């Protein structure tokens, strides 16, 4: 299997299909079989042509036992770049299998922002100290400084390596400096222009630098100063700025305005991705992605939401309990009552999801909140009327009782309006109170739509049918 | 207000707060007041210092009437870059207000990928032809070619402007070529290396080019060929690749492997963002973000999901209807029955959300599906047991009847296992059938958890309590 043409064959045949990227199951099976057979040499040969991101995907796809065997098999040739790409739960397993010594070696290999990120993932203070002790003093200092900053801040995200030169330099001087072998980052997308106090005053795109002639001064081709990122700024704000202004990289400044680092778009892509994903997960009552977590951890992380939901469900039952005598008299009400609550819950969730996302992307702000609330109530009213007619007609025919049709229709209108109002008002209020609306809105919404739904339907029935 | 220091003051005081980006409501109010007073000069002065992305946000934030007035006020100085940043519904309003002539002028100003995107947004064929007729022949040809490609394909996303040179060129020759004023894109992040048949064979990062000495040949500093993007590839696959491999830009090739364009990360950021957002919206039964849509359009777009949900709710009612006599005999069952269905629905949604997201990010594949299904069923069983004890105890105490406690507990276990199984199996099956699991999984899931929930609870009660 050492024949390169065989490797190419693997790459073509089992690694990727024609119109989509990603590992093919056949390839994963080949790796699994080699692991089962404890044939480490074949494992190493199979993954040798892979991009580090593909190896990360492969490690995630393997079962827990295979995962440990895989890490042992490739330990001697382990690519440090794999680590930042892994899911948190999987990464913890891999690091444990690598051991402190090899993990510290990985930290030395990756760029400073990745080293900070990886070191920050070790939650146990003693373990982290053990790993940091194995690093060169300079890198250790960088990591310790960054970890002292708030989690999810720009300072955690930034790279310290950058190119900064004064504005009076010429294009020629700058290119000579870059060629001089000065200590430079591996990759950079722009050159920051700084004043004598090392504050950013602008930046030069590399394409502009390459196009200009040698005697041109940088100040003539630099872009006027764009957004600076304070080192303590939350990463979601950083992501907003990058997305809004299509930035590739941006300068990070300390409290006195000095240039201390840069954030690059590849790190921000991960933040943007996580941001939308987190909101999606939170709306469903998940504290985090738990696909690769152990069963017991997953049960724990999902428990709180289910318990809260049980509270809501019991509350709804208490409301129903108020009308036991009504239900005894007209059992048809018990048959129909989930419809009103369920429709309210679904309509409210539509509004809620739009509101939570719009708050995250700053499309919903104090400036347009009133208008949007009005719109959602109007939509609730219209949908309420439409579904009142539909449901009322069905119920009338089903139970041959027009009064039931009228009652369920009226309850539908009330609950749909309540759902629209609650769906927009709850996240707005939580956001104003600085509570993440994605985390908690759902419980409040279900409470409103269940309580209003059952109360309106059974209450109206108690008054008008009995 | 023409004094630049006043403008700076606005910029500092009302445009942005200290620790977050985005328009402040005070600023929006100032613009609104100027629009009300029909003071177009002030409107133009207020927005003059703004980034085009901020102006796009401002337009979105304004009400529909203000929006039209705003466009009329700034028409003479309208920045074409604003258009791609707008929400679809808002953009349609702005384009209508601009008129075909000014819209065509905008298409000429933006880069080719944005021009393709904007032209593609005009759905009416005749209107599109009218606009295209106002463009120079070359740009029109580019747009028409791109629009002939499938929507959401790499060809729609790519820019045609790029820098491609042969590998035998030296660094010096390349820099001279870039300085020669040859027709080059405004901005480029890498130089593509092509063979004599114009097929990509590698790329040179600009930072590597700047660091190398003039006599060095490009082949010595080029990165080996990385992923190529077929022109027909779906944009979600493109986004997957960029995210996975942290790419800045990548070559797009036609069917014969020739380099025809490049996709850059700023366009992919939008795709990544939309992808997660779309899944989040679809899970909630929204066909698209409708925050800025008119009420009537919003009602229409949300109607289908609510109608489907009504179907599910009626189905659940039919199940309940099977047990009318049981409910008449023990009305406590009617009080408790929503609890089992609701808990199942919530547990199932947790699993479903994880599965839909993991399918989108390719973390859940045929290679690990069996293991994940097993895990979710195990979680359903454990949560079922825990909540069976809790709910059973509460119900026993509430109604003083141990049999009711046992029945609700048993039903809870059954429904939680069903929820876990359905939550993972439904999206897997839909994905295998090439149906987007985010769109349709929810309805199937609710049907399962409602039907199983009510049937198990009332059925067990009919057997063991009556």
pLDDT tens across B314-366, in order? 999 999 999 999 999 999 999 999 999 999 999 999 999 999 999 988 889 88
What pLDDT does A2 receive? 43
What pLDDT does B2 receive? 43
Work out the number of other CB atoms within 10 angstroms of the CB of residue A184. 16
Contacts of A151 (CB under 8 A, 6+ apart): A120
Q: Among B273, B442, B353, which Cα is nearest to A290's?
A: B353
List the single residue in A227, A317, A372 with the smallest CB-CB distance to B336: A317
Please tell me if residue B295 touches chain A, with a CB cutoff of 8 Å.
yes
In angstroms, the Cα distances linking A431 to A13, A239, A304, A428, A449 are: 51, 19, 21, 5, 20
Whole-number Å distance between alpha carbons of A453 and A442: 16
Q: Among A351, A356, A347, A362, which Cα is nearest to A282's?
A: A356
Dihedral class, residue B22 (left if φ above 0, else alpha if ψ from -120 to 50, else beta): left
Q: Among A175, A236, A7, A93, which Cα is nearest to B211's?
A: A175
User: Average pLDDT for residues B381-389, to the nearest whole number?
Assistant: 96
pLDDT digits (tens, 9 = 90+) for A167-215: 999 999 999 999 987 778 878 888 999 999 999 999 999 999 999 999 9
Site from B29, B117, B184, B210 to mutate, A interface, most A CB atoms within 10 angstroms: B210
User: Average pLDDT for residues B191-196, to the nearest whole number?
Assistant: 94
Please tell me if residue B292 touches chain A, with a CB cutoff of 8 Å.
yes
Ranges A7-11, A281-285, B110-114, B391-395: which has the least confidence: A7-11
Whole-number Å distance between alpha carbons of B96 and B119: 13
- Helices (H) then strands (E): counts for chain A: 22, 7
- Residue A4 confidence (pLDDT) above 70: no
Residue the block writes with tokens 């199996």: B425
pLDDT digits (tens, 9 = 90+) for B394-414: 999 999 999 999 999 999 999
Average pLDDT, chain B: 89
**B295-464 to CATH, choices 3.90.1010.10, 3.40.1380.10, 3.40.50.300, 1.10.357.20:** 1.10.357.20
What pLDDT does B6 receive? 54
Domain boundaries, chain A: 4-152, 164-263, 295-464
What pLDDT does B293 receive? 86
Beta bridge partners of A237: none
What pLDDT does A178 receive? 92
- Residue A267 confidence (pLDDT) above 70: yes
Site from B335, B339, B365 to mutate, A interface, most A CB atoms within 10 angstroms: B335
Regarding the domain delimited by A4-152, which CATH topology (the fold level of the hierarchy) does it fall under?
MgtE N-terminal fold (1.25.60)
Residue A247's pLDDT band, with cuts at 50, 70 and 90, is confident
What pLDDT does B440 receive? 84
Inter-chain contact A22–B289, Cβ cutoff 8 Å?
no
Instruction: Collapse the DSSP code of A190 into the 3-class scheme (helix H, G, I; strand E, B; otherwise coil) and give the result.
Output: strand
What pLDDT does A414 receive? 97
| DSSP H/E element including A249 | strand A249-253
Question: A164-166 and A190-194 as β-strands: parallel, antiparallel, unpaired?
Answer: parallel
- Residue B84 confidence (pLDDT) above 60: yes
Please tell me if residue A211 touches chain B, with a CB cutoff of 8 Å.
yes
What pLDDT does B121 receive? 87
- B 347-386: CB under 8 A from A: 347, 349-350, 352-354, 357-358, 362-368, 371-372, 375, 378-379, 382-383, 386
In angstroms, the Cα distances linking B273 to A301, B270, B280, B360, B465 are: 26, 5, 11, 13, 53
Q: Is the dihedral of CA B157, B163, B165, B169 positive or negative?
A: negative
Residue A20's pLDDT band, with cuts at 50, 70 and 90, is low
The dotted CATH code for B164-283 is 3.10.580.10
* Calculated CA dihedral for residues A220, A221, A226, A232, nearest 10 degrees: -100
Average pLDDT, chain A: 89
Site from A235, A271, A280, A455 to mutate, B interface, most B CB atoms within 10 angstroms: A280
User: Average pLDDT for residues B192-217, to the nearest whole number?
Assistant: 93
Chain B residues with CB-CB distance to A394 below 8 A: 314
Q: Do domains A4-152 and A164-263 have the same CATH topology?
A: no
CB hemisphere CA count around A256 (13 angstroms): 4
State how far residue B37 is from chain A, nearest Cα, in angstroms.
Answer: 18
Chain A residues with CB-CB distance to B25 below 8 A: 365-367
- Residue A159 vs residue A425, higher pLDDT: A425
Q: Among A451, A31, A171, A338, which Cα is nearest to B344's?
A: A338
Please tell me if residue B169 touches chain A, with a CB cutoff of 8 Å.
no
In angstroms, the Cα distances linking A14 to A26, A79, B6 are: 6, 22, 64
User: Average pLDDT for residues A396-415, to the nearest whole number?
Assistant: 95
Instruction: Give backbone dihedrals phi and psi of B167, rounded to 5 degrees, phi first.
Output: -75, -15
What pLDDT does A219 receive? 93
Chain A residues with CB-CB distance to B184 below 8 A: 207, 211
* Residue-level length of chain B: 466
Ranges A166-170, A266-270, B77-81: which has the least confidence: A266-270
- Residue B428 confidence (pLDDT) above 90: yes
Q: Among B195, B218, B198, which Cα is nearest to B208's?
A: B218
ipTM reported for the complex, 2 dp: 0.85
What pLDDT does B17 receive? 53
- Residue B133 confidence (pLDDT) above 70: yes
pLDDT digits (tens, 9 = 90+) for B266-287: 888 888 888 888 888 998 888 8
- A 4-23: CB under 8 A from B: 19-23
Residue B225's pLDDT band, with cuts at 50, 70 and 90, is low
Regarding the domain delimited by A164-263, which CATH topology (the fold level of the hierarchy) does it fall under?
CBS-domain (3.10.580)
- Residue A417 confidence (pLDDT) above 80: yes
- B 402-421: CB under 8 A from A: none
State how far residue A129 is from chain B, nearest Cα, in angstroms.
Answer: 30
pLDDT digits (tens, 9 = 90+) for B35-49: 999 999 999 988 888
């Amino acid at each position: 299997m050492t024949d390169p043409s065989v490797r190419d064959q693997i790459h073509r045949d089992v690694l990727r299909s024609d119109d989509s990227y990603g590992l093919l199951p056949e390839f994963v099976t080949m790796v699994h079989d080699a692991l089962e057979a404890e044939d480490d040499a074949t494992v190493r040969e199979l993954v040798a042509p892979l991009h580090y991101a593909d190896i990360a995907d492969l490690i995630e796809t393997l079962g827990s036992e295979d995962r440990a065997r895989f890490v042992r098999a490739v330990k001697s040739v382990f690519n440090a770049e794999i680590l930042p790409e892994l899911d948190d739960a999987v990464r913890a397993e891999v690091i444990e299998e690598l051991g402190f010594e090899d993990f510290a070696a990985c930290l030395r290999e990756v760029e400073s922002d990745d080293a900070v990120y990886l070191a920050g993932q070790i939650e146990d203070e003693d373990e982290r100290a053990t790993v940091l002790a194995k690093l060169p003093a300079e890198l250790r200092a960088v990591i310790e400084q960054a970890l002292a900053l708030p989690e999810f801040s720009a300072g955690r995200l930034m790279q310290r390596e950058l190119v900064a030169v004064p504005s009076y330099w010429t294009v020629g001087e700058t290119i000579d400096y870059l060629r001089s072998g000065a200590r430079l980052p591996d990759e950079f997308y722009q050159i920051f222009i700084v004043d004598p106090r090392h504050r950013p005053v602008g930046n030069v795109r590399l394409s502009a630098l390459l196009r200009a002639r040698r005697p041109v001064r940088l100040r003539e081709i630099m872009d006027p100063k764009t957004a600076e990122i304070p080192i303590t700024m939350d990463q979601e704000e950083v992501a907003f700025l990058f997305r809004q202004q299509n930035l590739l990289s941006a300068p990070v400044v300390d409290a006195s305005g000095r240039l201390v680092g840069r954030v690059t778009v590849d790190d921000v892509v991960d933040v943007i991705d996580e941001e939308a994903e987190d909101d999606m997960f939170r709306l469903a009552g998940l504290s985090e992605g738990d696909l690769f977590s152990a069963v017991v951890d997953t049960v724990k992380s999902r428990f709180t939401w289910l318990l809260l939901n049980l509270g809501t469900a019991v509350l709804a039952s208490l409301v129903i309990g108020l009308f036991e005598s009504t239900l005894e008299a007209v059992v048809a009400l018990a048959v129909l009552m989930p419809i009103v609550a369920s429709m309210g819950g679904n309509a409210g969730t539509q509004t809620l999801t739009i509101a939570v996302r719009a708050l995250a992307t700053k499309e919903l702000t104090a400036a347009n909140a009133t208008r949007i609330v009005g719109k959602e109530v109007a939509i609730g009213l219209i949908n309420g009327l439409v579904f009142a007619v539909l449901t009322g007609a069905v119920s009338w025919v089903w139970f041959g009782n027009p009064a039931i049709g009228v009652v369920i229709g009226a309850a539908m209108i009330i609950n749909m309006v309540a759902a629209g109002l609650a769906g927009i008002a709850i996240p707005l209020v939580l956001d104003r109170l600085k509570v993440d609306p994605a985390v908690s809105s759902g419980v409040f919404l279900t409470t409103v739509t269940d309580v209003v739904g059952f109360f309106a339907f059974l209450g109206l029935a108690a008054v008008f049918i009995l």
